[in-house]
Amino acid sequence: MINDHQLPIYFLSLALLTGCATSFSESQNDLPAVQAKVPDDWSQDTLSGLLSGDWIKDFEDSNLEYMIETAFAQNPSLQAAFFRVQRAEAEAVLSGALKYPSLSLGLSANKQKQLFDPFGSFDTKRYGLTLASRWELDIWGKVRDRQKATLALLEASGYDMDALQLSLLSQICKVWFNAKEVLYQRDLTVRSAESFDSNLKILEDRYQRGLIQAFDLRLFRSQAAVVRSQANLVETTFEETIRLLETLLGNYPGRNIEITKDLPAASTPIPAGLPASLLNNRPDVRAAERRLAALGANFDLTKKNRLPDIILTGNYGTASSELDEFLDEDKTVWSLAGDITAPLFRGGQLSAERKLAEARFNEQLSNYESAILNAFREVETALANQDYLVRLVDDLSLASNQSAKALDQAWDLYGRGLIDITEVLDAERRSFDAQRGSISAISLVLKNRVDLYVALGGGFNLDDE
C-alpha cells in the first residue's frame, strides 16, 4: 500500500519507467525510394565546384545588392512566409507538449449555510489545495508520430521561405536587368526617331527642289511616325518595369528608382556540381521531401489508431474545514486512476482514415518526384542555353555592326539615285532591329545566368586549384 509520503516518489518513478519504455519503440518512418532517375552527371559540359549563397555578388552591382536587402526587409510576401514559419513552430511545440504530463494546482474555499427545520441552521466551511496530473502514456508512439509530422511541416515551412527568397532574388534581378534593357531600348528608339526627323527635313528640302517624288516623302513620313510611336510605347514599358520593381521591394510604386543603362558583364564560369547534390540544394525539393515525411508520419499514426489509449490521472492535496489546518499532513487526500480505452466499432472510420492518409502520402510522393524532375529540367535547360545565348550575342553584335554600315551605304546609294526609298527604309529597319536584338541578347544571357543560379539552388565558390 502506498502511503501519503510515498505518493510523489511513486509518480516520479512511473514517469521515468514510462519514458524509458517509449524510447525503445521509436518508429522509423521508412519512406519509399523516389522513382525519378538521378543521373551521374549532367548532359551538358560543366565545371566542378561548390555551391554557396552569394551569387548576387557575381554581378558586381551594389545597387542590385541594396535592393535585394531592401526586399528581404520589406517584401510583404516574404514577411507572410516568415509568419508561416512562426505558426508552424508553434504547432510543433503544441504537438510536442503532449508527450509530457499536465500538472495543475487548485485552491478552493467554500462556506455554506444550510437550514434544517426544526433543528435550525448549520454553517459549514471547507478549504482545499489540490495538485492534479493527467498523462497519456505514449507507449505506441502516437504522440511521437504527431510531433514528427509537425516538425517535418516546420522544416518544410523553412524551406518554403528559402524558396521564396530565391524566387524573389530571381524576380528582382530579372526586373532590374529588364529595366536596364528597356532603358537601352528607349534611348535607341529616341535616337532612331531623331535620325528619322533629321533625315525627313533633308527629304522635304529635296522634295521642294524637285529632286525626289512625293511618294518617297510620304513613305518616309509614315515610317518616322511609326518610330516615334515606338518610342512612346517603350516609355510606357519602362514605367511599368520600374513600378513592378518598386512593388517587389515592398515600396510604393511611385516611380522613384533611378536606373542607369549599364548591364553587368558577369563572366565567372558557373560550376553545376553533381545532379545528386541538387536534391539538397534546392529548397523547393527539400520542402517537398519534408511534406512527404510529414504525411508518412501521419500514415504511421493511422495504423496505431486501433490501439488503446492509456491515460493516468492523479490528485494530491489537502482538505480541511479550518483554515489553520489547511496544511496539516493529517488532512492529506489523494487519488490515482488509470484509464484504458480502445476503439471497438466506428463504422469504418479508422479504415477510411488510413486509406486517406495512404492516398495523401502517395500523392505527395508523386509531387516530390515531379519537383525533382522539374529541378533537373531547369538546370539542363539553363546549362544548354548558356552556349546558345553566347553565340546569339556574338551573331547579333556582328549583325548590328554590319547593318549600321549597310545603312550608311544605303543613304549614299539613294543620294546618287541608285536605289529607291523603300530600300533605305528596309536598311533602317534592319539596323534598328539588329541593335535592339543585340541589347536583348545581352540581357537574356544575364537572365539565363540567374535562372541557372536559381535552378542550382544557390550561388557558387570555385574550387581552389
More confident residue, 120 or 394: 394
- Please give the pLDDT value at position 202: 83
**Residue 462 forms part of a structural domain:** no
- Please give the pLDDT value at position 21: 34
- Would you say residue 158 has pLDDT above 90? yes
- Would you say residue 65 has pLDDT above 50? yes
Query: Which pLDDT band holds residue 40 (cuts at 50, 70, 90)?
Result: low
pLDDT tens profile 406-462: 989 998 898 888 888 888 888 888 988 899 999 999 999 999 989 988 888 874 444
* Same domain assignment for residues 158 and 108: no
CATH number, residue 128: 2.20.200.10
* Same domain assignment for residues 232 and 150: yes
More confident residue, 40 or 201: 201
Q: Strands 332-341 and 309-320: what pairing?
A: antiparallel
Kindly state the average pLDDT of the residues 206-215. 84
* Same domain assignment for residues 25 and 77: no
- Please give the pLDDT value at position 192: 87
**Residue 127 forms part of a structural domain:** yes
* Same domain assignment for residues 180 and 238: yes
* C-alpha cell, 69: 536587402
Number of domains in the chain: 2
- Please give the pLDDT value at position 420: 84
- Please give the pLDDT value at position 31: 42
* Same domain assignment for residues 149 and 17: no
**Residue 125 forms part of a structural domain:** yes
Kindly state the average pLDDT of the residues 194-214. 84
Q: Where is average pLDDT lowest: 42-51, 392-401, 446-455? A: 42-51
Kindly state the average pLDDT of the residues 200-211. 84
Q: What's the whole-model pTM score? A: 0.78
- Please give the pLDDT value at position 56: 79
* Same domain assignment for residues 47 and 165: yes
- Would you say residue 18 has pLDDT above 60? no
Cα dist from 153 to 81, 164, 440, whole Å: 13, 16, 42
* C-alpha cell, 147: 510531433
pLDDT tens profile 362-387: 999 999 989 988 988 998 888 888 88
- Please give the pLDDT value at position 415: 84
**Residue 251 forms part of a structural domain:** yes
CB 332 within 8 A of CB 4: yes
- Would you say residue 28 has pLDDT above 50? no
Kindly state the average pLDDT of the residues 220-249. 89
**Residue 461 forms part of a structural domain:** no
Cα dist from 251 to 95, 171, 243, 459, whole Å: 38, 15, 9, 27
**Residue 465 forms part of a structural domain:** no
- Please give the pLDDT value at position 314: 92
More confident residue, 330 or 182: 182
* Same domain assignment for residues 299 and 319: no
- Please give the pLDDT value at position 44: 63
Q: Which domain holds residue 369?
A: 36-99+142-307+349-456
* C-alpha cell, 326: 489547511
- Which residue, 341, 360, 390, sits at the end of a domain? 341
CA distance 451 to 447: 6
* Same domain assignment for residues 124 and 246: no
* Same domain assignment for residues 323 and 230: no
**Residue 464 forms part of a structural domain:** no
More confident residue, 274 or 202: 202
**Residue 410 forms part of a structural domain:** yes
CB 396 within 8 A of CB 431: no
CATH number, residue 379: 1.20.1600.10
CA distance 422 to 249: 47
**Per-chain mean pLDDT for the chain:** 81
Query: Which pLDDT band holds residue 299 (cuts at 50, 70, 90)?
Result: very high
- Would you say residue 2 has pLDDT above 90? no
* Same domain assignment for residues 260 and 381: yes
More confident residue, 281 or 349: 349
Kindly state the average pLDDT of the residues 35-42. 61
pLDDT tens profile 111-154: 777 766 666 666 777 878 889 999 989 899 999 999 999 999 99
* Same domain assignment for residues 326 and 440: no
Of 379, 429, 453, nearest to 56 (Cα)? Answer: 453
More confident residue, 330 or 308: 308
CB 247 within 8 A of CB 235: no
Kindly state the average pLDDT of the residues 274-299. 86
* Same domain assignment for residues 94 and 18: no
